[in-house]
Amino acid sequence: MDSRPLAEILRPLTADDYVGQEKLMGPEGIIRRMLDNKAISSMILWGPPGVGKTTLALLIANVLQRKYYQLSAISSGVKEVREVIAAAANETSPILFIDEIHRFSKSQQDSLLAAVERGTVTLIGATTENPSFEVISPLLSRCQVYVLESLSVDHLNIILEKALQYYKKEGYTISVKETDMLFRFSGGDARKLYNALQLVVENSIKNKGAEITNDKVARVIQNNLARFDKSGEMHYDIISAFIKSVRGSDPNAALYWMARLIEGGEDPKFIARRMLILASEDIGLANPNAILMANACFDAVHKIGWPESRIILAECAVYLASSSKSNATYLGIDAALEHVRKTGDLPVPLHLRNAPTKLMKELNYGKDYQYAHDFDNSFVNMEFLPEKIKGTKFYEPGKTAREVDLRNFLKARWKDKYGY
């Protein structure tokens, strides 16, 4: 019997074989019509794991007989994107599928713009996150966004039947007595359903026959959890749940998902690193002590071995989850970066320039600069931004107690200049 994962063996290659997403792939579905017309445009496929995003991209390439390139945003960067685009220049509008495109940075997404606009590649991006927030506007405007929905029980039954027919053709007799646990472990994810069924069959087969029951499925999956989650999606889902629980100020959920990560064999240093990032991104100046706590946790985990370091991780997670939250500095730096990309390299005002040489001083570098500490409260009302964008506000304090104090401090200094 074929040793490949069942999900790969049974991956549909024609529109008629595709299960689910009737609004897109049904007889009157928009992508189905494009395939019938042999024309496809760049698109973003947004939906939960296992609903058919990768399968749909492969199917499109197969039906249209286009060259197919695939990158993962987790392991690829600008270099890999440029290499694919260079190779694609010799093809007729090949398909470039980028999984987890929301994990690409803005600069990585920028590297796709010209190729998509010229039609060098037809981009198909897959994301589990809202593309309105995770995909840059210029790229989003060049793509259609299609929402893929979770698979229903009816869809899962069809997928299960396809798998049973495959086993039958291979000479195996698989009797499914109960499906509750199979569907529960799949979570509406076709790939996980295939993985679960394949694991149970492999662990139960006798004389080319096997019987599937809820108890058997639960026992086999629990004993083979790492193998069941071959793609690592469950791993990333649990990380996501942990981060969102801390961000959402729920220490109980944070501890639960941390425990799931620990039991799944996650590196404690990785958990500590994620909390260090979160302390700055999601708490920031609402509680400046958060990043100190997270950094101390990160250092301690490096010094203290397992299992004692679990206590340090738990203490930090509860502290962060129970802290006031603000993403104001996170939004501020992203706003500044976006502005820099739009306005380019604006000249540094003369009075802010460094003047280490006589020539630079003659060119008025540093002239009229006022040293803040020579003034009351170490503050002088002077322009620090380029002339073209003076008065532009990037940092907008949140509404936590500390940030209200910050807002009042800045308002007292800058009056009405920045609208604090």
pLDDT, tens only, 335-356: 999 999 888 889 999 999 998 8
Per the CB < 8 A criterion, the answer to whether 271 and 310 are in contact is: no
Pairing of strands 173-176, 144-147: unpaired
pLDDT, tens only, 136-192: 888 888 899 999 988 889 999 999 999 888 888 888 888 888 888 888 877 778 888
Categorize the per-residue pLDDT at 97 as very low, low, confident or very high, splitting at 50, 70 and 90.
very high
pLDDT above 80 (res 215): yes
Q: How far apart are CA 91 and CA 251, in angstroms?
A: 52
The CATH architecture annotation of domain 342-414 reads Orthogonal Bundle (1.10)
pLDDT above 60 (res 229): no
pLDDT, tens only, 253-311: 999 999 988 877 777 888 999 999 999 999 999 999 999 999 999 999 988 877 889 99
Q: How far apart are CA 298 and CA 268, in angstroms?
A: 9
Identify the pLDDT of residue 398.
94
Per the CB < 8 A criterion, the answer to whether 406 and 286 are in contact is: no
Question: If you count them, how many residues does the chain have?
Answer: 420
CATH topology match: 20-147 vs 342-414: no
Q: How far apart are CA 246 and CA 278, in angstroms?
A: 8
Q: What is the mean pLDDT of the chain?
A: 87
Express as a percent the part of the chain with pLDDT over 90: 44
**Mean pLDDT for the stretch of residues 376-401:** 94
Cβ neighbour number for residue 207 with a 10 Å cutoff:
7
Identify the pLDDT of residue 43.
93
Q: How far apart are CA 368 and CA 143, in angstroms?
A: 50
Pairing of strands 122-127, 95-99: parallel
pLDDT above 70 (res 30): yes
pLDDT above 50 (res 227): no
pLDDT above 60 (res 233): no
Categorize the per-residue pLDDT at 230 as very low, low, confident or very high, splitting at 50, 70 and 90.
very low
Cβ neighbour number for residue 214 with a 10 Å cutoff:
14
Q: How far apart are CA 332 and CA 216, in angstroms?
A: 53
Taking the CA of residue 44 as centre, how many other CA atoms within 13 Å lie in the half-sphere pointing to its CB?
23
Per the CB < 8 A criterion, the answer to whether 125 and 23 are in contact is: no
Q: How far apart are CA 104 and CA 72, in angstroms?
A: 9
Q: How far apart are the first and last CA of the chain?
A: 69
Categorize the per-residue pLDDT at 134 as very low, low, confident or very high, splitting at 50, 70 and 90.
confident
Residue extents of the structural domains in the chain: 20-147, 153-228, 233-321, 342-414
Q: What is the pTM of this model?
A: 0.54
Q: How far apart are CA 71 and CA 80, in angstroms?
A: 8
Q: Is 198 exposed, middle or buried (0-12, 13-18, 19+ CB in 10 A)?
A: buried
Categorize the per-residue pLDDT at 361 as very low, low, confident or very high, splitting at 50, 70 and 90.
confident
pLDDT above 60 (res 378): yes
**Mean pLDDT for the stretch of residues 227-248:** 75
Comparing 143 with 48, which gets the higher pLDDT? 143
pLDDT above 70 (res 196): yes
CA-nearest of 269, 339, 334 to 302 is 269
Q: What radius of gyration, in Å, describes the C-alpha atoms of the chain? A: 27
Which class is 233-321 in CATH? mainly alpha
**Dihedral (C-alpha) 80, 82, 84, 89: value to the nearest 10 degrees?**
-170
The one-letter code for the residue type at 7 is: A
Local structure of residue 14 (DSSP, 8 states)? S
pLDDT above 80 (res 73): no
pLDDT above 70 (res 232): no
Q: Name the 3-class secondary structure at 46.
A: strand
Instruction: Give the lowest-confidence range in 101-105, 148-152, 222-226.
Output: 222-226
Identify the pLDDT of residue 71.
87
pLDDT above 50 (res 70): yes
* Cross-strand pairs, 70: 97
Identify the pLDDT of residue 234.
63
Q: Name the 3-class secondary structure at 336.
A: helix
The CATH architecture annotation of domain 153-228 reads Orthogonal Bundle (1.10)
Identify the pLDDT of residue 228.
45
pLDDT above 60 (res 231): no
Per the CB < 8 A criterion, the answer to whether 34 and 40 are in contact is: yes
Determine whether domain 20-147 maps to CATH 3.40.50.2000: no
Alpha carbon of residue 295 to chain centroid:
24
Identify the pLDDT of residue 83.
87
